[in-house]
Amino acid sequence: MKFFVDSANIEEIKKLNEWGIISGVTTNPSLLSKEKGNPYDILRQICEIVKGPVSAEVTAVKFEEMVEEAHRLADIHPNIVVKIPFIEDGIKAIKYLSERGISVNTTLIFNPIQALIAARAGARYVSPFIGRLDDVGHDGLSIIKEIVEIFTIHEIETEVIAASIRHPRHVLMSALYGAHIATIPPNVFYQMIKHPLTDIGLQKFLEDWKKKEG
């Protein structure tokens, strides 16, 4: 499973990219609206930092306007992947854009059938939102498992991006269930690398080393 950063914050993306484990970035209108500056400039900067797919979402909801906005976003950089919401016009836009060589990440996926339809329309990625399903009392991770199973049975190449990740266990289970990618907010990356026994163990090693005679 690959790691993407789910953020539009340049400083956070730069810091995490220095770890050398980041394969891509996902943004959305909410994340971009939190940042100062022109969203297109921010997306361009992200593409210069991370050498991998960078998802940029359309805000139009009608087919013609979605397609037009998707082209503008795709023109920012060759690594831009256009995020299209899973709505009726979105399905048509996925088909249209995929046939014209624009990679699509289908967003706001909340059940496996939506994912299957997006894949059949030609989406390069589907993004099931785990955390938001948990928030309404459903089991978000179960749809990761089901989507991966369906794609495996039917030999579908569309990649599954576990999105709306809230904690390290979402990452662990997404990896076990076979998600190709987890897109992770910066705070969860820092939670993932922490273990109290690592800190205690290191402290002990260093103390013992200081005590060494000769």
The residues binding ligand G3P (CB under 6 A) are: 6, 26, 28, 129, 131-132, 163-164, 183
Which residue lies nearer to ligand G3P by CB, 26 or 174? Answer: 26
Which residue lies nearer to ligand G3P by CB, 132 or 138? Answer: 132
Q: Write down the least CB distance from residue 28 to ligand G3P, Å.
A: 4
SS3 state at 67: helix
Q: Write down the least CB distance from residue 184 to ligand G3P, Å.
A: 9
Which of 15, 62, 83, 204 does the annotation list as catalytic? Answer: 83
How far is CA 162 from its chain centroid?
7
Q: Write down the least CB distance from residue 177 to ligand G3P, Å.
A: 17
Which residue lies nearer to ligand G3P by CB, 121 or 183? Answer: 183
d(CA 144, CA 127): 9
SS3 state at 121: coil
15 catalytic per annotation: no
- What single letter denotes the amino acid at residue 82? V
Q: Write down the least CB distance from residue 164 to ligand G3P, Å.
A: 3
Q: Scan for tokens 């995020």, then name that residue.
A: 83
Which residue lies nearer to ligand G3P by CB, 94 or 196? Answer: 94
- Given a contact cutoff of 8 angstroms between Cβ atoms, the answer to whether 100 and 92 are in contact is no
- Extract long-range pairs of 192-195: CB within 8 Å, 24+ residues apart: 192/168
d(CA 71, CA 102): 8
Residues 6+ apart with CB under 8 A from 77: 43, 44, 47, 48, 54
| Residues labelled as active-site residues | 83
